[in-house]
Chains A and B, each alone.
Chain A
Amino acid sequence: MNILSKIVIPLFVVIVIFYGFKKKINVYDSFLEGAKEGLNITLNIFPAIIAMVFAINIFLDSNFIYFLLKAFKGILDFLNIPIEIMPMALLRPVSGTASLAIMNDIFLNFGPDSYLGRLASILQGCTDTTIYVLALYFSSIGIKKIRYSLGVGLFADLVGIVMAFLLTMLLF
């Protein structure tokens, strides 16, 4: 698996460049043209990233999420859901770095092979930073009305989170 994931990118680059060479296009000029486009794309998302990081960090630094979880501790205990995993589950749609940092904490405190460690690993892998991706992708092309996309995206994440809980309980 490790070798496989290491060979994917170099192989991909070789195929793309060799195919361009075979089709007799000016590979270098194409690259520069595309790279220029990439620069514009990044400039377009620059303000959205600054805005999102600003809001997310204020929210995280206020520790509001831990306050909220304390209020629901009774229900979580009843459902046999460890409270340590909840900040990660709640933050996963918003920030990949934040949930990764919490996973790192869980590995440090409980070990990667504990129930919590496995649960965190599966959770991180099967969901994505939905809110962040939506904001980034839509703002890059100037979409203002995002319609039902956020609801469907968060629903998919919720299913992923529930499945991660069930599978960790069933399989390990």
Chain B
Amino acid sequence: MVNYIWIFLILVGIFFAFITGNLDTINNSILTNGKEGFDIVISILPIIVLWTGIMKIAEDSGLLQKFAKLVEPLLSRLFPSIPKNNPALGYIASNIAANMMGLGSAATPFGLKAMKELQKINKKKDTASEAMITFLVLNTAGVTIVPTTVLALRIAHNSLNPSEIIIPGIIATFYSSFAGLILDYIIRRRKK
């Protein structure tokens, strides 16, 4: 699927630029794109390395497992295929907690670790497991309580009431997560 998206974006982009005579921009874009991708990797690298380091301490000391146990009643309903006391639950919980606080960059390493743990219990290594899909639905529906970036930008633009968007944001997020989880649940049920 990612394969097709990739092909679509590139072919449509170049073809459209070609027929609108916008080739200079595209030329420039292709030549400088590599650097932009590199800059993104370099900017997230230290954050990921730092947080996987800190989270390893929490895993080795048993704190992560303790946290996972705390949220297990809730998460085990969403993820029936993950065995009890599996560190994946801890990482999933940390990822969601970081997302809720609007710490998107701190959430990524937890999410990547969660995927790694889920892959260990995945039977077909080249195919997404049900637990992975549920996790990503929850992750991409973006359960955000404090949208830090949006708030910062609103304040920077002199909003009279920067935080007025928080409550509607929570309501919208709740509905999108709920809708995603329900659809995921229905599809999982049907496959069985």
**Which residues of A line the B interface, CB within 8 A?**
1, 4-5, 8-9, 13, 15-17, 19-20, 22-23, 25, 27, 30-35, 37-39, 41-42, 45-46, 49-64, 67, 96, 100, 103-104, 107-108, 111-113, 117-118, 121-122, 124-131, 133-150, 152-153, 155-157, 159-160, 163-164, 167-168, 171-172
- Residues of chain A contacted by B55 (CB below 8 angstroms): 16, 34
Contact across chains for A145 and B127 when beta carbons are under 8 A apart: yes
Task: Please tell me which one of the listed residues B124, B159, B176 contacts residue A159 in the complex, with CB atoms under 8 A apart.
Answer: B176
Cα–Cα, bound, A143→B127 (Å): 5
Min Cβ gap B133→A in Å is: 4
Contact across chains for A100 and B56 when beta carbons are under 8 A apart: no
Task: Please tell me which one of the listed residues B57, B112, B140 contacts residue A153 in the complex, with CB atoms under 8 A apart.
Answer: B140
**CB nearest neighbor in B for A170:** B168
Interface size class of B (residues with CB under 8 A): 35 or more
Chain B interface SS verdict (over half)? helix
Contact across chains for B172 and A164 when beta carbons are under 8 A apart: yes
Binds A, one of B37-45, B70-78, B79-87: B37-45
- Residues of chain B contacted by A171 (CB below 8 angstroms): 168
In the complex with contacts A23-B62, A137-B111, A160-B175, A41-B116 CB distance below 8 A: yes
Contact across chains for B179 and A155 when beta carbons are under 8 A apart: yes
In the complex with contacts A53-B36, A61-B29, A112-B109 CB distance below 8 A: no
Task: Please tell me which one of the listed residues A4, A58, A143 contacts residue B26 in the complex, with CB atoms under 8 A apart.
Answer: A58
Contact across chains for B58 and A58 when beta carbons are under 8 A apart: no
**Which residues of B line the A interface, CB within 8 A?**
1-2, 5-6, 9-10, 12-14, 16-17, 20, 22, 25-26, 28-30, 33-34, 36-38, 40-41, 44-45, 48-63, 101-104, 106, 108-109, 111-113, 115-116, 118-119, 124-128, 132-133, 136-137, 139-142, 144, 146-151, 153-154, 157-166, 168-169, 171-173, 175-177, 179-180, 183-184, 187
A-B contact count (CB 8 A): 326
Min Cβ gap B2→A in Å is: 5
Chain A interface SS verdict (over half)? helix
Task: Please tell me which one of the listed residues B109, B136, B144, B172 contacts residue A38 in the complex, with CB atoms under 8 A apart.
Answer: B109
- Residues of chain B contacted by A27 (CB below 8 angstroms): 57, 61
Contact across chains for B139 and A133 when beta carbons are under 8 A apart: yes
- Residues of chain B contacted by A13 (CB below 8 angstroms): 54
Task: Please tell me which one of the listed residues B108, B128, B144, B162 contacts residue A149 in the complex, with CB atoms under 8 A apart.
Answer: B128
In the complex with contacts A57-B29, A57-B33, A118-B165 CB distance below 8 A: yes
B33, B62, B140 — which one has the most chain A CB atoms within 10 A of its CB?
A: B140
Cα–Cα, bound, A125→B100 (Å): 10
- Additional A-B contacts beyond A55-B6, A112-B153 (6; CB < 8 A): A61-B17, A107-B157, A117-B159, A144-B126, A149-B132, A160-B141
CB-CB nearest 7 A-B residue pairs: A34-B56, A156-B180, A38-B52, A160-B176, A125-B147, A35-B53, A128-B142
